[in-house]
Chain A
Amino acid sequence: MRQIVQIAISGVLLGGLYATLSLGFSLTWGLLRTINFAHFSFALLAGYTTYALTTTFGIDPLVTLAVTVPGGVVVSLGLQWFVARFRLNVFGTLIATFGLLLALEAAMSTIWQQDIRRIPGEQNPWASAVISLGPFTVPVVQLLSLVAAVVFCGFGWWLLHRSRAGHAIRASVEDPAMARAFGIDAARLGYLIAALSGASVAVAGSVIGILYSLSPSSALTWVPITLAVVLLGGLANPLGVGVAAVVLALAESFTRQFASPSLAQLVALAVLVVVLLFRPQGVFPATVQVGQP
């Protein structure tokens, strides 16, 4: 019983990381019609930035968020500017951001080489810091990523459903011509979504940099998980992303414990197949309904 609760705790915490990582992908896909493959590179880049700042300047890993989050916002805004400037369609964004991913991967493997990097233990007190709750342990950084997930998903939900800006965004996605006629500046609102996406992915990337080891080609290993979370949670549905991420992470944690670690990596894919077979529209409703172009 104790073991099961402990696994559940780490599952929920891992879900926080998955949600933070997937939120931006879901938002830009659903609201900006940008499938951002480079999202995964942005996360990895944030992780490497945390690694580099910590190892060269001896900065506390968590303080590096002060650099990675603004960085993520700037990069994400730049990409959104590019997509808007060249009026790329959905498949165009997929190809172009994949190109960006390849370029970033080449850049990262030039700077940090192909081998696996990890922040050394003495410079990284957070990797092993835990809070004890009776018989259970809660890793601090993972708890922080869960808090970040709650904040970002909650803010995303508030933004889309309770703020005027959110109503305008949804209107401009569902009916661009009509929204324009009502004086909604879709481009400016798009930058708001892009900024939220960039901030959340930078947090996720820095947490990954603190907790795990990094290699330039590891960006793509998160694709199945993110895709499963996004499709399960409904496009651009922040609460759906949060719940789907926790469910998936719990499934992974239990599989890792009771079956085998390698099987856990396939949980996301299995969930994805089941979702596509039985509920391709997602378990949670998409925030906006877009007609097929």
Chain B
Amino acid sequence: MITATPEVSSSAAAPSRARRRAWSGPLVAGVAILALAAVPRLQDGLGFSAYYVVFGYTLLFWITQASSWNLFSGFSGYRVFGHGLFYGAGVYVTANLARETEASLFLVLPLGALASALLALAVGWIVFRRGLTHEVFALFTFALAVAMVVVARNVEAIGGGGVLMVRNLKYPEWLGSINDMLFYVALLLAVLAVASAWLVQRSRLGIGLAAIRDDERVAEALGVPTFRYKLTALVLSAALAGASGALNAVAISFIEPEATFGIQVSVFVVLMSLIGGQRHWAGPILGAVLITALSDRLTGLGASELSQVLMAALLIFVVIRFQGGILERLFAVPVRGWSAFVIVFAVLLGTGWAGSLIGALVFAMIAMMVALVLPDSLFRRFSVFRKASRHA
């Protein structure tokens, strides 16, 4: 099974291309971050509505959550099915700190991360000490998240029983309005999460995790410290989720056990990573963009049941027809995927048929997925695609 990142395999063949590639990644990332950071400042000048800042926050939140999930679960193959546990720990830290006093932003984020990390340490110690199978691990983390609802409902010390209201946090003046602040901090956390995933993937830890994913016993025999690696990655993943949860508590401001530890976060991060691709740091980003934009449009239609059915259908579709996710297919047939995306996106933006930027994004990504799952034989007769698909 091939586990190495695509960069590694191509760099051996073409050194000059590899040098170019080594710079292009950070360059693209830097431009993307700067462009995103400019959104709140430029929204009036560019004619963006204020809604894009709110949507941007949601998108960045999900990128952070999905990347943090994938950092452990996707890389190691031990799928956490109760990521809401780590997210919720962060939410409850903010909710409790901001309940009595006006807490500071710079206090709640590290504390949220710390609480989740400690929780992950305990969970990881329980499950990794004795070699548990992947299924038991997935179900156990899910059961923990379900049981956490009971804890949050009943333990007085963390505001048991009721709904907690989060007052405004204290944060530096120059971050602007509350929505701008949320956007900037979420951007920071998303960059942190994606960068962590990127670094982990290229580090010894990431290679060790990939070895664990492929065959844990062989990895163990070859000297990979499996227990330590799994625990480290789980704690890092939980800390990122916790910090992001601590921020999200401010955004939702109305904290309730069922919604916090419920299945939404746990299921969405799995769906996003599965649909985007779990073996690469960029997979969860693609998945998060698709799912966030899609559910944003569906919520706009006011059909929550329909949205849930669609998510369910996507989960089933990914499992039976789309193993490996968008990214793996995109590496195989890049020209086909990107051209479908760009053409549909440009047409929809130009004509305005999709109604908005987000709608165009949804349809363009769906078009890309359709192009990627269509059988290769359909594309053989076009020379552009033939050249690209030879690398597959």
- Complex interface bits, B130-151 against A, C-beta within 8 A gives 1, otherwise 0: 1111111011101110110011
Q: Please name 13 further chain A to chain B contacts, defined as beta carbons within 8 Å, in addition to the given A86-B320, A95-B270, sorted by A numbering.
A: A35-B139, A96-B315, A96-B316, A99-B311, A106-B306, A106-B309, A107-B305, A221-B146, A224-B146, A263-B154, A276-B127, A277-B126, A280-B136
Which of A60-68, A120-128, A148-156, A264-272 binds B? A264-272
Which residues 22-78 of A have a CB within 8 angstroms of B? 29, 35
Q: Are A103 and B318 in contact (CB under 8 A)?
A: no
Q: Are B305 and A276 in contact (CB under 8 A)?
A: no
Contacts of A265 in B (CB 8 A): 147, 150
Q: Does A105 contact B (CB under 8 A)?
A: yes
Q: Are A94 and B143 in contact (CB under 8 A)?
A: no
- Complex interface bits, A217-259 against B, C-beta within 8 A gives 1, otherwise 0: 1001101100110010000000000000000000000000000
Contacts of A29 in B (CB 8 A): 135
Q: Does A84 contact B (CB under 8 A)?
A: no
Report the minimal beta-carbon distance from B96 to chain A, rounded to whole angstroms: 19
Q: Are B320 and A88 in contact (CB under 8 A)?
A: yes
Q: Are A276 and B140 in contact (CB under 8 A)?
A: yes
Per the bound structure, the CA–CA distance linking A217 and B150 in Å amounts to 14
Per the bound structure, the CA–CA distance linking A102 and B313 in Å amounts to 9
Q: Are B139 and A280 in contact (CB under 8 A)?
A: no
Contacts of B305 in A (CB 8 A): 106-107, 109-110
Contacts of B320 in A (CB 8 A): 86, 88, 92, 96
Contacts of A8 in B (CB 8 A): none
Per the bound structure, the CA–CA distance linking A276 and B144 in Å amounts to 13
Q: Are A220 and B263 in contact (CB under 8 A)?
A: yes
Contacts of A102 in B (CB 8 A): 267, 308-309, 311-312, 315
Q: Are A94 and B150 in contact (CB under 8 A)?
A: no
How many chain A residues have a CB neighbour from B under 8 Å?
Answer: 41
Which residues 112-165 of B have a CB within 8 angstroms of A? 126-127, 129-136, 138-140, 142-144, 146-147, 150-151, 153-154
Chain A residues proximal to chain B, CB less than 8 Å: 29, 35, 86, 88, 90-92, 94-96, 98-103, 105-107, 109-110, 217, 220-221, 223-224, 227-228, 231, 262-263, 265-266, 268-269, 272-273, 276-277, 280, 292
Q: Are B143 and A99 in contact (CB under 8 A)?
A: no
Contacts of A221 in B (CB 8 A): 146
Partner among A86, A98, A272, A292 whose Cβ is within 8 Å of the Cβ of B140: A272
Per the bound structure, the CA–CA distance linking A81 and B133 in Å amounts to 25
Per the bound structure, the CA–CA distance linking A274 and B291 in Å amounts to 38
Q: Are B146 and A276 in contact (CB under 8 A)?
A: no
Pick the 7 closest A-B CB pairs, nearest first. Answer: A99-B315, A103-B312, A262-B154, A102-B312, A99-B312, A106-B308, A269-B147
Q: Are B135 and A99 in contact (CB under 8 A)?
A: no
- Given A109-B305, A292-B133, A96–B319 Cβ distance below 8 Å? yes
Q: Are A280 and B319 in contact (CB under 8 A)?
A: no
Chain A CB within 10 A, most for which of B81, B127, B146, B267: B146
Q: Are B142 and A269 in contact (CB under 8 A)?
A: no
- Given A95-B315, A266-B151, A227–B139 Cβ distance below 8 Å? yes
Q: Are A277 and B147 in contact (CB under 8 A)?
A: no
- List 29 interface pairs A-B (beta carbons < 8 Å), by A numbering: A92-B319, A92-B320, A94-B135, A94-B139, A95-B318, A98-B315, A99-B315, A101-B312, A102-B311, A102-B315, A103-B312, A106-B306, A106-B309, A107-B305, A220-B146, A223-B143, A223-B146, A224-B146, A227-B139, A227-B143, A262-B150, A262-B153, A272-B140, A272-B143, A276-B132, A276-B140, A277-B129, A280-B130, A280-B136
